[in-house]
Amino acid sequence: MSNAESKDVILQKDDGVALLWLDRQGEKVNTLSVKTLDSFSKLLDELEKDPEVKAVVLISKKKDNFIVGADLDVLQTFDKAEDAQKASQDGNDLLTRVSKFPKPFVAAINGTTMGGGLEVALACHYRIVTDHPKTVLALPEVKLGLLPGGGGTQRLPRLIGIQKALGLMLTGRNVYPHKAKKIGLADEIIHPHGLLQAAKNVALKLTKKPHKRKKRMGFMEKALESTPLTKNIIYNTAKKQVMRQTYGNYPAPLKIIDCVKRGMGTNLKSGLQIESKNFGELVVSPESTQLVNLFFAMTDSKKNPQQDKVKKVEKIGMLGAGLMGAGIANISATKDIRVVLKDISMEAANNGFKNISKDIGVKCKKRIYTAFQKDTILSKVFPTDSYKSLRNTDVVIEAVFEDLDLKRKVLAETEAVVRDDCIFASNTSSLPITDIAAEAKHPERVIGMHYFSPVPKMPLLEIITTDKTADWVTATAYDLGVKQGKTVIVVGDGPGFYTTRILAPLMNEAICLLEEGAKIEDIDRNMKLFGYPVGPITLLDEVGLDVAAHVTDVMNDLFSKRGVTGSNVAKQITDAGLKGRKNGKGFYLYPKKKGKKKTINTDIYRFFGGNSRKTFDREEMQLRVALMMVNEAAVCLQDGILKSPRDGDLGAILGLGFPPFRGGPFRYIDTLGASKVVATLESLQEKHGVRFTPAPILQEYAKNNKKFYN
């Protein structure tokens, strides 16, 4: 029957309903590309003329996705804003045809429906979604520095209201089936097996009577969206919130607000034009380019380079049930891995268990898990105070106090009880793995797995291998990290490995600035303006000054060989009893009462030459702090700690909050040009000393005009 040209879309006629099966050839997921759009357009001509066809159902042949979005590879080929704008317009023309199609058009949605995929669904006359666990709807374009360029900024607010639409588009968050139905994004929910029949039924029903839908809005929501004046309040509030979170570093959210604001003030057709123009501009913006690069790098890192050497991990042991240990146990148990959560006392282990339970409980309230799922997850965590329970574990991860002797001790104690194919991983943030493994019976099974706090939220896992670490051990740790939902980088061993090593000079520079008389709030604010999510001084407080002092100590040799001496002020401050957030006193004072804001602890200036403070040039401050990290990242690449610039960028962004829109240290160097970076560093070196000496690799790249990425 079918005479469609492309196999990506297959037409099947069934009792007067044309079923359009989406099935992108050679891929596991459906994406939108120019080719699909062309064949789709021709199909529409055919369907419109065909008297046999009374209604159309759009449905995916894939197991767990409808359409996951536009083909990003294609987006990357656009050099000019006009080209991207044109592509958006073409898409919008086609979708407008769908929305005005004379026969009912039903979207039958099962599985992931993202970005362009959701926009296609929005253009249809009726959306029916399944309650499959993989069914999620989202417009995540903002995360890539883009906006929904297929009518999303126009159709979504018209369907579910301005406030809800802005919320979804500015965060890119997932909407699950029941929520989708509740807010009016979906018209109906059905189980996956009944989807096709239900879609056909409703399509035929719509031929007799068009669907009438009630706007599902609360009273206040409706009131706010009823007059131009109050609508303006919505837009202004949204804008203020965006500015507060991004410091204006990201153009996409502002443009999304602009599209909705102007679009809702006019008709759909003009709205779509505004959207396409904004979309074009964003596609070629440097911010979006870097965010798309980051997305590709993250996707790329999901592939384990040594997948064939992976051993199955079903049960892990966690030594230490503190914040870290409980966090790692949490992300493992939720991914169906059993965890023995060991601490020195049953009370301590139980406390870790409690924290996991609380976290899962919060997710239950948000309806991410059911109460029963919570039971099954918590059943996978076994709190204990005995090594005996580690007997059958595949991997043991230690997160005990950062003390070399203690780590060696727990390693020896673990080796005494585990099977001889069990991996020992250390979640140290700075101690070299080689040192920890020095007395191990099986150093080939020792590896570093450096997680970041809070573990469930932070996306990075830094794996550290020594000369002796076996390949299967690295491969298995990698696999475990990916299973736990982390983006994994593998780096070489040394004090602070990669992430802690590049963070230390940045922190040190912030302290130098304080010693030179800068204000705490200026440093934090300026670095936030530069694009860091948290200022370095706040970060010091969060990490804890005792930890910072310890790290300085561990890293000292490494830097002093290069003639750089780090400040030991962190130790002095710790000795004076200020530890940062953990004891409520650090660079800031943290009031015990909830809801009260932290204030600056001016008393701490006594460690930095007294209370007379001055203002620094913002850009100089930003460059000094940021370039310390960037330069050290280059040294890491040169020393072989890093295997690739990609890992360096992923580590800095996902682990340390390096501004994502700058693409990471190496992308940042490429953007500025190595020669410019070297020149800046040299001038800083003249003023402030050898710590700014450009890494030799940078000098070489500058001389030969090379880039880290081609």
Partner 1 sequence: MSERKVVLVDGTRIPFLKANTSYKNLRSYDLARLALKGLLDKTQLSPHELQQVIAGTVISNFTTSNVARDALLGAGLPYTIPAFTVTMACISANQAITSGIDLIASGQKDVVIAGGTESLSDVPIRYKKKFRRKLMAAQKFTKPWQFLTFLNLKDWLPEIPRVAEFATNRTMGQDCERTVSRIGVTRREQDEFAIRSHHLAAEATEKGFLSQEITPISVEPKFQLVDKDNGFRKDSSMEKLQKLRPAFVKPHGTITAGNASFLTDGAAFVLLMEEEKARALGYEPKAVVKSYAYTAQSPHDELLLGPAYAIPKVLDQANLTLQDIDVFEIHEAFAGQVLAALKCLDSDTFAKENLGRSQKVGEIPMDKVNTWGGSLSIGHPFGATGSRLVTCAANRLIHENKKFALIASCAAGALGHAMIIENCRG
Site for partner 1 in 297-326 (CB under 8 A): 314
Question: Tokens 């940078």 — which residue?
Answer: 698
- 279 near partner 1, rule: CB under 8 A: no
- 375 near partner 1, rule: CB under 8 A: yes
Q: Cβ closer to partner 1: 340 or 604?
A: 340
Q: Cβ closer to partner 1: 384 or 484?
A: 384
Q: Contact with partner 1 (CB under 8 A): which of 126, 176, 353, 661?
A: 353
Across 61-177, the runs of DSSP E, i.e. the strands, are: 65-67, 105-109, 112-114, 126-130, 137-138
Cα distances (angstroms) measured from residue 555 to each of 466, 494, 705: 18, 9, 32
How many helical (H) and strand (E) elements, i.e. helices and strands, does the chain have? Answer: 30, 19
Q: Contact with partner 1 (CB under 8 A): which of 40, 279, 382, 605?
A: 382
- Name the one range near partner 1 by CB under 8 A: 168-176, 338-346, 458-466, 500-508: 338-346
Q: Contact with partner 1 (CB under 8 A): which of 303, 372, 467, 595?
A: 372
Q: Is 52 a catalytic residue?
A: no
Task: Tokens for 665, please give them.
Answer: 């240290």
314 closest CA partner among 112, 152, 476, 515: 476
Q: Contact with partner 1 (CB under 8 A): which of 233, 243, 346, 362?
A: 346
Site for partner 1 in 17-56 (CB under 8 A): none
Q: Cβ closer to partner 1: 243 or 346?
A: 346
Tell me the closest approach of the beta carbon of residue 333 to partner 1, in angstroms.
9
Indicate the residue type of 301.
S
- 340 near partner 1, rule: CB under 8 A: yes
Q: Cβ closer to partner 1: 41 or 376?
A: 376
Q: Contact with partner 1 (CB under 8 A): which of 174, 392, 453, 638?
A: 392
- C-alpha–C-alpha distance, residues 410 and 400, integer Å: 8
Q: Cβ closer to partner 1: 219 or 372?
A: 372
- 376 near partner 1, rule: CB under 8 A: yes
Task: Tokens for 25, please give them.
Answer: 């050839």
663 closest CA partner among 322, 209, 182, 295: 295
320 closest CA partner among 385, 386, 396, 400: 400
Tell me the closest approach of the beta carbon of residue 110 to partner 1, in angstroms.
23
Q: Cβ closer to partner 1: 417 or 458?
A: 417
- C-alpha–C-alpha distance, residues 177 and 130, integer Å: 7
Tell me the closest approach of the beta carbon of residue 349 to partner 1, in angstroms.
9
Tell me the closest approach of the beta carbon of residue 194 to partner 1, in angstroms.
23
- 391 near partner 1, rule: CB under 8 A: yes
- C-alpha–C-alpha distance, residues 614 and 520, integer Å: 11
- What letter does residue 695 receive in the DSSP assignment? P
429 closest CA partner among 359, 356, 502: 502
Q: Contact with partner 1 (CB under 8 A): which of 2, 39, 246, 357?
A: 357
Q: Contact with partner 1 (CB under 8 A): which of 54, 380, 582, 707?
A: 380
- C-alpha–C-alpha distance, residues 453 and 476, integer Å: 22
Q: Cβ closer to partner 1: 276 or 334?
A: 334
Q: Cβ closer to partner 1: 135 or 334?
A: 334
Question: Tokens 């959210």 — which residue?
Answer: 253
- 419 near partner 1, rule: CB under 8 A: no
- 201 near partner 1, rule: CB under 8 A: no
- Distant-in-sequence, close-in-space partners of 610: CB < 8 Å, separation ≥ 6: none
Q: Contact with partner 1 (CB under 8 A): which of 306, 350, 601, 671?
A: 350
Tell me the closest approach of the beta carbon of residue 382 to partner 1, in angstroms.
5
Q: Which DSSP string corresponds to 232-290? A: HHHHHHHHHHHHHHHTT--HHHHHHHHHHHHHHTS-HHHHHHHHHHHHHHHHTSHHHHH
Tell me the closest approach of the beta carbon of residue 323 to partner 1, in angstroms.
16
Backbone φ/ψ region at 125: left (φ over 0), alpha (ψ -120 to 50), beta: alpha
Q: How far is CA 209 from the centre of its chain?
A: 44
CB 464 within 8 A of CB 435: no
Site for partner 1 in 102-161 (CB under 8 A): none
107 closest CA partner among 199, 176, 29, 32: 199
Q: Cβ closer to partner 1: 80 or 354?
A: 354
Q: Contact with partner 1 (CB under 8 A): which of 389, 426, 466, 487?
A: 389
Tell me the closest approach of the beta carbon of residue 609 to partner 1, in angstroms.
47
Taking the CA of residue 160 as centre, how many other CA atoms within 13 Å lie in the half-sphere pointing to its CB? 21
- Name the one range near partner 1 by CB under 8 A: 33-41, 387-395, 523-531, 682-690: 387-395
Cα distances (angstroms) measured from residue 1 to each of 12, 14, 22, 52, 204: 7, 10, 17, 12, 20
- Residue of 119, 275, 415, 462 marked active site: 462
Task: Provide the binding-site residues for partner 1, judged by CB under 8 A.
Answer: 314, 336, 338, 340, 346-347, 350-351, 353-354, 357, 372, 375-377, 379-380, 382-384, 389, 391-392
Question: What residues are labeled active site?
Answer: 462
